Structure 1
Amino acid sequence: MKVRIGNEGEHPVRVIVDRDTVNDSTLEAGADELFEANGGVLELRELEMGTDPAEPGGETNG
């Protein structure tokens, strides 16, 4: 599956393809990008400053 995602929000979005959290991507605000998911799973998580779990001291929104 190929999907074009456009981030029209104010914050970057974490894009996880096929549940692979190691090779995830960040889609910045205003960006538009094509993603390919062989397993058919795309997960989107809006990030705010200091809430990225991949960053030291980051916490989840949840």
Structure 2
Amino acid sequence: MIKSQTLVFIEVRYRTNIRFGATVETVTHKKQTKIIRTAELYLQRYQKYQDYLCRFDVIGLNLI
């Protein structure tokens, strides 16, 4: 998503049961590293966004 010269990378997490933790807790350090690497590859491929600010958002959906 692009908003005001900011490129936003969004991770959407979904759970039907929170017995093992909330959705945002599933974004581990390993997952964060993977998201950052993916963003770096995206910026290399689409160089027109290289001067944009980047932001990472997490959306968690818990359906109980």
Q: TM class by shorter-chain length? A: under 0.3
Q: Scaled by the length of structure 1, what TM-score is found?
A: 0.27
Q: Which has the higher contact order (CA 8 A, sep 6+)?
A: 2
TM-score by length of 2: 0.27
State the structure with more CA Rg. 2
Higher helix share: 2
